[in-house]
Structure 1
Amino acid sequence: MQTNDSPAARPMEPIKFGNLLINFTTEFYRIWDTKGSRSAPATFWRPTPAPDALPGYFPLGDIAVSGDLNINGKRVTAVVCEGDPQGADSLKGKALSPPDDFEQVWKDSGSGSTVDGAIWRPIPPDGYVALGLVCSNGHAKPSLNAVRCVRSDLVVASSVGDTIWSDRGSGAKQNFSAWSLEPPAAAAGEINFAPGTFVGVNSYTQPATHVAAYSLRMQIPLQIISTPEVPVLTGFGFPPTLDTSRATQIARIPWFAVKDDTLSPVEKLNKSPFYRLERTDEYQLIGYAHNEGAKGRFFKWAVPRGLVRSILQIFTNTTSIKFETEWPIEASDAVRPINFSARLDRNFARTEASAAGWSSPKTAEVVAIAPKSKLLAVYQLQSHYDLLREDGTQAGINLPYTDNDSFYLAEYPPEESEVNASQPTATDTSP
């Protein structure tokens, strides 16, 4: 029954979470199918990462697929490997463990299927959990090396998702239905994702919970390169406009969490396993005033928002990435190669100070006091976001963003003890 006739995706740099290494395979071995049974057709596959490409990697469970098509080169599933322990992980023990045993969940007896088959739940050792079920060709237990269990602090409890297959009408002595996994909403700066395995129960009703319903976790790698130089006034002339147009922070987002209609899921894994969401910060001059009088004076400027809602909507529609909340959350996103929930770091997405910053279309009125005999300049921090593929090509439109929490005030001449001048105040006003 082996049908490994499609080329494998090249191995990507592994995702590291503690001492757990996570990668993906498009190679599978057909374990069992429902041919001869009176139920709807289904096939059960085992991920088989090529030893030369992904040495030391194991499946977390088998794959249940409705229908009888060959999934090699078409489906993508997570596989795992033991990594080197670092820091606290060296005290927690290994990331992976073989199961202690298997518990039979269902067998095809009475179904009339051409070949006998059974489905098993791995029984994990203490401190570890199973992330799916395992199938066998015949009624004998699978090998303990068929899968690996994961240390419980490296995964997250998940919900039971959509039905994949049931043996309804098969005539088997036991009822059985197989279900997908749905990860919970991700915390800021993290991604929760299902490995592609399945869970199952001896009924046709969706279970509220399942002992093997867990998903993998990862932190979104964030690289902080630099921060833009703050403006410094050197005289009473026109305030300088600084050249700070460079990437200051980069978030690396894995292929499955980015929508890219130019590439299929397998092509994304091959050509762009990680996408770079680059944030470029720069200070933009809002206004300035020279108070030549003997008393302090109030000055104010109207500041339009740098965010255009229509541009944000286009960016999200083409990339699926959201800034103010986790993604995906719409029902239309249900069909995807890997079920996941992702959320950007609050500081990177600039939602740490004003949660409504991305949703407010209002302008701001900036009010500041210019002391006597001083030149006052008000700047606003503006960010530009660019999504780039691995080869450097752009995968989404440039997205500008400003909020009403990121103003900088500069004076000339500066106070002797002044390093960072007090912030001006901003009041939202309607456009």
Structure 2
Amino acid sequence: MTESRTGAGAGDPDEMVRLHTYGELTVAFTTDFTRDYDNDGAGAHVAGSAYHPEYPQWMKDRNEDWYWLGGLTLQTLSLDDGTQAMPFVKPSGAAPPDGKGPILKAPASWTWMYDDSGAHAHMAGTCYRPVPPAGYVALGDAFTDGVDGTHRVPDPATWPFSHFMCVREDYAHAGSYGAWIWNDDHSKGDYAFTGWQVSAALPEGATFSDEGRRMLLAVNTFLTDPRTSHPSTPPTSPTPYVLSLPVQGTSTGNTPAVPQLTSQTQPAEYTTATVDYSVVVPFTGITDTELSLTQKTDGSAFYTVERQNRYHLVDFGTNTSNTDNPGNTRQVSVGISDSQSSTFTQTYGLEVGYERGIGLKPELSTIHFNLSTQLGYATTTQVSVMVTETLTQGMPLPAQSSAALWAGSHRICPRRADGTYIDPDQGQPFDLNQTLVYDTSP
């Protein structure tokens, strides 16, 4: 299950720090934007503005072509530096499947969605929707540059629209409409605008059969409501799309040795942990309050979620008499409780528990992805070794001997690009709901 990469990879100094490859796409992030429009002076009750992403300096230094997939719009007149992030993508160099075209293609054309004619704002707002070529999907709308008061059409020959792309349909999946962003209600304009976020959450009642193999990533873009009023509920069309990225975790093949009691000295609480599985996810799926947004995009844009495998000493005893002692029956609590799961999810954005398995929730981030099978578990949900239960085990103590009882134990650990753990305790530990290990010495 080791990931195979083409293009940017382990030998690239920016790997994990700023970029990572998922199949045919290499993904990176920017916090740099140029304003295309704000509605100051239009008379609308709600402030609104629109932007396109710009290359950060490190991306310029690489002298490569990166592409954007949709514009950004916000309920504000200006964007503070380092407060929003958006992905850029580029082809990784991996060959497409037989019969498939390139991973990215420019829009076949553009459809006008809105302009603020008649509003008398200080800038000119014009919003267009990309029309994808056959076999491709557009992920979001975009405003054109109207800072000088000119309503423009997208120009595919000049930046930024020379680098606007649609993605091949097998690298996209239906998401859902997220939050309402802003509208121009009460402006003096001739047309109506309402913008909606695009979310990686599935449509109500929908399922995603590939959720253990592909990651749904919303790219922080928007869709313009096609209705000419100012509705308070999302439209039913068009379908909002997000990236669908193939994810392949890494298996080291390392497993901890089954513990043995080799003396009458009490062993350590935990055996030495080995990392047996890991998977890489964008920073947008992990809550890390110690780093600013720019520190993430420019220094830890991708996080490794690793599974540490070890054994937990749950009981130890010594019998100094010359008579065997049947000992007590030991009850061992295993699995992960709902309260443990909830606390870890709220703190770090990563859900760990029996019902859901290990997942990134679109309600907490821009990602929908289940990591369970990538981290070595047999199922994506209802992970049996995580069931909260009390196991019963006898602890007989032979004469002049010691005895120890261990439970298999895992720890789910999100780690930054520099190798540090975001959790001071490294991650969420839990003892496995499986056979305990008992041993005596001598």
Same fold (TM > 0.5): yes
**Cα shift at 1:226:** 2.5
Which residue pairs with 2:181 in the alignment? 164
Cα distance between partner residues in 2 of 1:162 and 1:221: 31
Whether the 8 Å CA contact 2:196–2:222 is kept in 1: the answer is yes
Which residue pairs with 2:195 in the alignment? 178
**Cα shift at 1:52:** 2.9
Whether the 8 Å CA contact 1:45–1:62 is kept in 2: the answer is yes
Equivalent of residue 153 in structure 2, options 103, 128, 141: 141
1:108 and 2:122 correspond: no
* C-alpha spacing 1:119/1:157, structure 2 compared with 1 (3 Å): same
Cα distance between partner residues in 2 of 1:303 and 1:234: 19
Show CA shifts across 1:189-235 (max 9, x none): 54322111110123322333333611113345522113325549899
SS of residue paired to 1:250: strand
Equivalent of residue 196 in structure 1, options 214, 217, 220: 220
SS of residue paired to 1:89: coil
Cα distance between partner residues in 1 of 2:437 and 2:382: 17
* C-alpha spacing 1:106/1:307, structure 2 compared with 1 (3 Å): closer
* C-alpha spacing 1:77/1:141, structure 2 compared with 1 (3 Å): same
SS of residue paired to 1:32: strand
Which residue pairs with 1:4 in the alignment? none
Which residue pairs with 2:39 in the alignment? 34
* Number of equivalent positions: 380
Letter in 2 for 1:64: T
Percent of residue pairs bearing the same amino acid type: 23
SS of residue paired to 1:304: strand
Which residue pairs with 1:328 in the alignment? 361
**Cα shift at 1:13:** 4.2
TM-score for the superposition, normalised by structure 1? 0.75
Which residue pairs with 2:303 in the alignment? 275
Map 1:36-115 → 2, pairs under 5 A: 36-39=41-44, 40-50=46-56, 51-53=60-62, 55-86=64-95, 88-89=96-97, 91-115=99-123
Show CA shifts across 1:136-182 (max 9, x none): 23334202351111101101111111111111111222222011011
Which residue pairs with 2:30 in the alignment? 25
Cα distance between partner residues in 1 of 2:62 and 2:43: 39
Whether the 8 Å CA contact 1:121–1:132 is kept in 2: the answer is yes
Which residue pairs with 1:217 in the alignment? 244
Cα distance between partner residues in 2 of 1:387 and 1:407: 27
Show CA shifts across 1:352-401 (max 9, x none): 395365452x3112599xxxxxxx99864221333332233331134321
RMSD: 3.8
* C-alpha spacing 1:310/1:109, structure 2 compared with 1 (3 Å): closer
Show CA shifts across 1:314-347 (max 9, x none): 43332121123234365xx4xxxx6222322236
Show CA shifts across 1:70-124 (max 9, x none): 34433111122122133x5364120111111111111212212233332111111
Structure 2 spans left out of the alignment, 5+ residues: 1-13, 203-207, 317-327, 396-402
Letter in 2 for 1:79: F
Cα distance between partner residues in 2 of 1:113 and 1:89: 49
* C-alpha spacing 1:76/1:260, structure 2 compared with 1 (3 Å): same
Which residue pairs with 1:401 in the alignment? 430
Cα distance between partner residues in 2 of 1:66 and 1:354: 40
Whether the 8 Å CA contact 1:228–1:283 is kept in 2: the answer is no
Letter in 1 for 2:273: S
SS of residue paired to 1:323: strand
* C-alpha spacing 1:157/1:108, structure 2 compared with 1 (3 Å): same
* C-alpha spacing 1:203/1:159, structure 2 compared with 1 (3 Å): farther
Structure 1 spans left out of the alignment, 5+ residues: 1-9, 289-298, 369-375, 412-431
Which residue pairs with 2:133 in the alignment? 125
Whether the 8 Å CA contact 1:17–1:154 is kept in 2: the answer is no
TM-score for the superposition, normalised by structure 2? 0.73
**Cα shift at 1:349:** 6.9
SS of residue paired to 2:215: strand
Which residue pairs with 1:346 in the alignment? 373
* C-alpha spacing 1:47/1:233, structure 2 compared with 1 (3 Å): closer
* C-alpha spacing 1:322/1:220, structure 2 compared with 1 (3 Å): farther
Whether the 8 Å CA contact 1:307–1:358 is kept in 2: the answer is yes
Cα distance between partner residues in 1 of 2:47 and 2:63: 31
Equivalent of residue 168 in structure 2, options 126, 139, 151: 151
Letter in 1 for 2:253: S
